[in-house]
Amino acid sequence: MARPRFDELYPIKGNYKRFDQRNTAFELHRRKGGVPFSYDSDEERAKRINKKVYGYSLLDYAFKDAAGLYETIPNQKGGMNTGFYSWKPLINRNQNIFERWKGSPEEASRIVSKVAKYFGALDVGFCELDERWVYSHSSDWREIVFEDVEEGYVTNKKAVIPRSHRWVVAMTVPMELKENSFAPTVLDITSNMGYSRMHILAGQVAEFIRGIGYHAIPMGNDTALSVPIAIQAGLGHAGRHGRLITWKQGPLVRICKIFTDLPLKISPQASQGIIEFCEVCKKCAKHCPSKAIPFGPRTWEGKCKANNPGALKWYSDEEACFDYWNRVGSGCAICFRVCSFTKPKGLTHSMVKWFIRNIPRLNRLWVWMDEHLGYGKMGNPEEYWKEE
C-alpha cells in the first residue's frame, strides 16, 4: 500500500500561524496568577499521603521524583538551551583541526539512527525543518527567529536558529505499559521517566553530530511542536486525543528532536490507518474525565486558547485537561491508558494492526473487542509494591 503524504495526514491552512509557547495551558495558568503544578506542592502531597490514598503514598511520590530527577536538579530544567539541551557543545574540543566527516545523506541517516538507538531511542526519523512548527516565542518570552548565522544562540530577548539547520532528527523514547496502567495517580511515572530519558538522549545525539563537525540544537517540548515534526519524520500519526500514535508503541512515547546542518535522508511517512481507526474508536473521548477530547470529526478550529487553529485534526481542550490535573493531584494520561493502540507486544496484536492498516472496514469489530476484553482498565496501585 502506498504511503500517504504529510499534507494528507495533517492538512494545514494557508493562513496558519506559528504557535506562541506562552499560550500553552501551563503558561496561561501561570499568567492568571496560579502556580502551574500547585497540586504537587509539599502541602498537597502531605494531604494525600496522610489520607493513605492508593497511588499517592510516600513510596509513589519518591518513585516519581526519582524518575524525573534529571529535569529537576539545578541547571537541568528541560527548557530551551539548558542542561543537555544546550545549543553549544558540551565537550570542548578544537574542531578546527579536524576535517568534517563527509558522507551521503543516506549514510548520515543510517549512522545517526544507529547512534540514537544505542543511546535509548525507540525509533528515529528524519525530515526537513518546517518553520511552521517552531514556536513564535518561548515560554520565557524570547522571540524565536531564523537568521543567516553559523551557530544558533540565545540572548535575553531572542533565540536565533540558523537557516542552515535545514534537517531534523526526531526520536521517541518509550513509556512503560505497566506503570501507565496506574493513571491518573502519582504511580504513573512514565512521563517523568520519559522526560529524563529524552533529555539525555537528545543531548548525546546532538553531541555526536557536533563531534563529526556539524551543528546541532537539541530540544524536548521547548522550541518547537513535537507532534507535527514526528509525523513529518514518519514516526506516527496524530490521534483523537491530540498526541502522537505510533505503530510500534501506540501513544506510549515521548518525543525529542534536534535541528542540524548535517544533511539527512528524509524518512517516508508512517503507514496509514491510525487516523481512520480513531475516527470510529472514540474510546479516549468516552473515558476522558475532563471531557476535553472531542467525539466529532477533525476540525480546523481549536477549543481553547491553548490550541493553535489552522491544522485539520482533533483538538483537545487542554485547559480543561490541566484543570483536572489540579483536581486529581497528578498528571492524567487516562487517554494513553485506554487507547486501543496501547497494548503489550505479541503476535495477536501485531495481526490486528495489520488488519487496521489494510482492511479498515473491520475497525468497528476491533473497537468492540477492545472494550469487550477489558483493555485499558486501571491497575491497582495497592498491589504494585507487593509484586516482585
Render pLDDT for 219-277 as a digit per residue (tens, 0 to 9). 999 999 999 999 999 999 999 999 999 999 999 999 999 999 999 999 999 999 999 99
* Cell numbers that stand for 156 in this block: 535575553
Instruction: Determine the average pLDDT of the residues in 317-341.
Output: 95
Contacts of 308 (CB under 8 A, 6+ apart): 16, 17, 19, 23, 302
**Range name among 18-32, 70-84, 236-250 with the lowest pLDDT average:** 70-84
pLDDT at position 281, please?
Answer: 97
pLDDT confidence of 122, banded at 50, 70, 90? very high
- Taking the alpha carbons at both ends of the chain, their separation in whole angstroms is 45
pLDDT at position 75, please?
Answer: 58
For the chain, what is the total number of helices (H) and then of strands (E)? Answer: 15, 9
CA-to-CA distance for 364 and 367, rounded, in angstroms? Answer: 5
Rounded to the nearest integer, the mean pLDDT of the chain is 94
pLDDT confidence of 71, banded at 50, 70, 90? confident
Got the DSSP string for 171-182?
EEEE--HHHHTT
pLDDT at position 147, please?
Answer: 97
Instruction: Determine the average pLDDT of the residues in 166-187.
Output: 97
**Range name among 37-46, 140-149, 322-331 with the lowest pLDDT average:** 37-46
Would you say residue 7 has pLDDT above 80?
yes
How many residues make up the chain in this entry? 388
Cell 544505542 identifies what position?
Answer: 118
Structural domain boundaries in the chain: 6-384
CA-to-CA distance for 218 and 88, rounded, in angstroms? Answer: 10
pLDDT at position 74, please?
Answer: 59
What would the pLDDT profile of 196-206 be if each residue is shown by its tens digit? 999 999 999 99
* Cell numbers that stand for 112 in this block: 545517526
Would you say residue 37 has pLDDT above 90?
no
Q: How many CB atoms lie within 10 A of CB 341?
A: 24
pLDDT at position 39, please?
Answer: 83
Cell 528541560 identifies what position?
Answer: 78
